[in-house]
Amino acid sequence: MIACLLGLGPTAGCDFFQELESLPEAGESGEAGEAGESGETGTPLDFGAGEACTVLDDVCPDQDTLHACDAATGELLSYSCATMCAQSEMLNFTCTPTADFSHGCWCAQPGQIKIDTCVQLEACLVDCGEGPGSACAFECFKRTDAQTVRLLGTLYHCADQACDPICASSPADCGICLLNARAGLFGDCGVEREVCNADQGDEPSWP
């Protein structure tokens, strides 16, 4: 269901995207199961009696929540991205669509110090191609701190939500839609854009 397999290590980029199939269902043993018992991951959603979900029902209702269709059971489940990423000792950047219209949790590993601002992190990811499975993107996240990662994740999520219908109906227009939304020109992402733009580095400014 999720594009990248686990276990290849962060340099291969595969720890960015959590694979739902590797997680125990709610109520099973293990760390993920314990999270599911508390309602944080693997919680079934009321999708309708006898009605099976499809990949098009996968959504990210907010930056930290993934609603994903279990292809094996036809059940729509809700997952906490924070919990899923924490299992790899990583931070949730954002819940985001994948190329096949499914959605997943994009996990990141921030650095210990803040070198790049939100705008600089954004530029770094753009230069890398922005893929969650990119070793280049992994290095971008290491150049900043957790707060900055989360700031940019909020902007990415806003743009993803605004462009989801366009990306599903007209994939050729998806890229330009996302760029416009992240620029604050579409999808009511102006506040998120301004917050990212206002983010300052830790280095003192000299007159």
Each of the 207 residues of the chain gets a pLDDT tens digit; together they read 232 222 222 333 334 444 443 333 333 333 222 222 233 447 887 766 567 888 888 899 999 999 998 888 899 999 999 999 999 899 999 998 877 778 899 999 999 999 999 999 999 999 998 677 788 999 999 999 999 999 999 999 999 999 988 988 888 998 899 999 999 999 899 999 999 999 998 765 544
According to the model, what pLDDT value does residue 50 have? 62
CA atoms of 105 and 15, how far apart (whole Å): 10
Residue 88 lies in a domain: yes
According to the model, what pLDDT value does residue 21 have? 39
According to the model, what pLDDT value does residue 64 have? 96
101: containing domain? 10-198
CA atoms of 128 and 116, how far apart (whole Å): 15
Residue 205 lies in a domain: no
* Structural domain count, the chain: 1
CA atoms of 195 and 54, how far apart (whole Å): 35
Residue 1 lies in a domain: no
Residue 81 lies in a domain: yes
Residue 207 lies in a domain: no
Residue 5 lies in a domain: no
According to the model, what pLDDT value does residue 13 have? 35
Residue 56 lies in a domain: yes
According to the model, what pLDDT value does residue 41 have? 47
Alpha carbon 19 to chain centroid, angstroms: 12
CA atoms of 92 and 161, how far apart (whole Å): 17
193-201's contacts with Cβ under 8 Å and 24+ in sequence apart are 193/155, 195/118, 195/151, 195/154, 195/155, 196/118, 196/119, 196/122, 196/151, 196/152, 196/155, 197/118, 197/119, 199/117, 199/118, 199/119, 199/148, 199/151, 200/117, 201/114, 201/115, 201/116, 201/117, 201/120
Residue 157 lies in a domain: yes
72 touches 114 (CB < 8 A)? no
Helices (H), the chain: 31-37, 81-86, 118-128, 135-142, 146-169, 174-182, 190-198
Supply the pTM of this predicted model.
0.77
